[in-house]
Amino acid sequence: MQTNHQFSFQRLLLLGKQSFLINKKLIGISLAGFAGILFLLLVWFQYISHFTRWENKNYMITFTFLFFITGIIYTGLSFPAFRTKRKAWST
Protein backbone atom coordinates (compact mmCIF):
# COMPACT_ATOMS: atom_id res chain seq x y z
CA MET A 1 0.00 0.00 0.00
CA GLN A 2 1.38 3.36 -1.04
CA THR A 3 1.08 6.32 1.36
CA ASN A 4 1.92 9.95 0.70
CA HIS A 5 2.89 11.00 4.29
CA GLN A 6 0.92 14.25 4.02
CA PHE A 7 -1.94 15.40 6.22
CA SER A 8 -5.20 15.90 4.35
CA PHE A 9 -7.93 18.10 5.81
CA GLN A 10 -10.37 16.66 3.28
CA ARG A 11 -9.79 13.13 4.58
CA LEU A 12 -10.14 14.38 8.16
CA LEU A 13 -13.49 16.02 7.33
CA LEU A 14 -14.69 12.87 5.59
CA LEU A 15 -13.70 10.79 8.63
CA GLY A 16 -15.52 13.21 10.94
CA LYS A 17 -18.63 13.11 8.73
CA GLN A 18 -18.58 9.31 8.64
CA SER A 19 -18.11 9.11 12.41
CA PHE A 20 -21.01 11.52 12.96
CA LEU A 21 -23.32 9.57 10.63
CA ILE A 22 -22.51 6.29 12.36
CA ASN A 23 -22.75 7.67 15.92
CA LYS A 24 -25.41 10.40 15.58
CA LYS A 25 -27.93 8.63 17.84
CA LEU A 26 -25.31 8.07 20.56
CA ILE A 27 -24.11 11.68 20.25
CA GLY A 28 -27.67 13.03 20.51
CA ILE A 29 -28.54 10.90 23.54
CA SER A 30 -25.24 11.80 25.21
CA LEU A 31 -25.72 15.55 24.63
CA ALA A 32 -29.31 15.42 25.91
CA GLY A 33 -28.23 13.49 28.99
CA PHE A 34 -25.33 15.84 29.66
CA ALA A 35 -27.56 18.90 29.27
CA GLY A 36 -30.12 17.42 31.67
CA ILE A 37 -27.51 16.52 34.28
CA LEU A 38 -25.88 19.94 33.92
CA PHE A 39 -29.23 21.67 34.39
CA LEU A 40 -30.04 19.65 37.52
CA LEU A 41 -26.54 20.19 38.89
CA LEU A 42 -26.71 23.97 38.40
CA VAL A 43 -30.17 24.15 39.97
CA TRP A 44 -28.85 22.16 42.93
CA PHE A 45 -25.87 24.52 43.27
CA GLN A 46 -28.28 27.46 43.29
CA TYR A 47 -30.46 25.72 45.88
CA ILE A 48 -27.60 25.14 48.32
CA SER A 49 -26.57 28.80 47.97
CA HIS A 50 -30.20 29.87 48.69
CA PHE A 51 -30.60 31.26 45.16
CA THR A 52 -28.27 34.17 45.80
CA ARG A 53 -25.88 35.71 43.29
CA TRP A 54 -22.76 33.75 42.56
CA GLU A 55 -19.28 35.12 43.06
CA ASN A 56 -16.33 34.33 40.80
CA LYS A 57 -15.21 31.65 43.26
CA ASN A 58 -18.46 29.72 42.71
CA TYR A 59 -18.12 29.92 38.94
CA MET A 60 -14.53 28.69 39.03
CA ILE A 61 -15.38 25.73 41.26
CA THR A 62 -18.24 24.73 38.96
CA PHE A 63 -16.16 25.21 35.81
CA THR A 64 -13.22 23.21 37.18
CA PHE A 65 -15.46 20.36 38.32
CA LEU A 66 -17.32 20.15 35.00
CA PHE A 67 -14.11 20.55 32.99
CA PHE A 68 -12.46 17.55 34.63
CA ILE A 69 -15.56 15.35 34.64
CA THR A 70 -16.29 16.11 30.97
CA GLY A 71 -12.63 15.53 30.08
CA ILE A 72 -12.59 12.15 31.80
CA ILE A 73 -15.77 11.04 30.04
CA TYR A 74 -14.58 12.34 26.66
CA THR A 75 -11.20 10.65 27.02
CA GLY A 76 -12.85 7.39 27.99
CA LEU A 77 -15.03 7.43 24.88
CA SER A 78 -12.43 8.78 22.45
CA PHE A 79 -10.09 5.84 22.14
CA PRO A 80 -12.11 2.69 21.45
CA ALA A 81 -9.09 0.98 19.87
CA PHE A 82 -7.36 0.83 23.25
CA ARG A 83 -10.23 -0.94 25.02
CA THR A 84 -9.48 -4.49 23.89
CA LYS A 85 -6.21 -6.19 23.15
CA ARG A 86 -5.58 -8.04 19.91
CA LYS A 87 -5.45 -11.78 20.26
CA ALA A 88 -3.18 -12.34 17.27
CA TRP A 89 -1.00 -10.26 14.99
CA SER A 90 -1.96 -10.27 11.34
CA THR A 91 0.57 -9.72 8.59
Q: Which of 27, 46, 38 is nearest to 70 (CA)?
A: 38
Whole-prediction pTM: 0.58
Mean pLDDT rounded to a whole number for the chain:
83
Q: Are 17 and 9 in contact (CB under 8 A)?
A: no
* pLDDT tens track for 42-72: 898 889 888 888 888 888 988 998 899 888 8
3-state secondary structure of 84: coil
DSSP 8-state class, residue 88? S
Domains of the chain, residue spans: 9-78
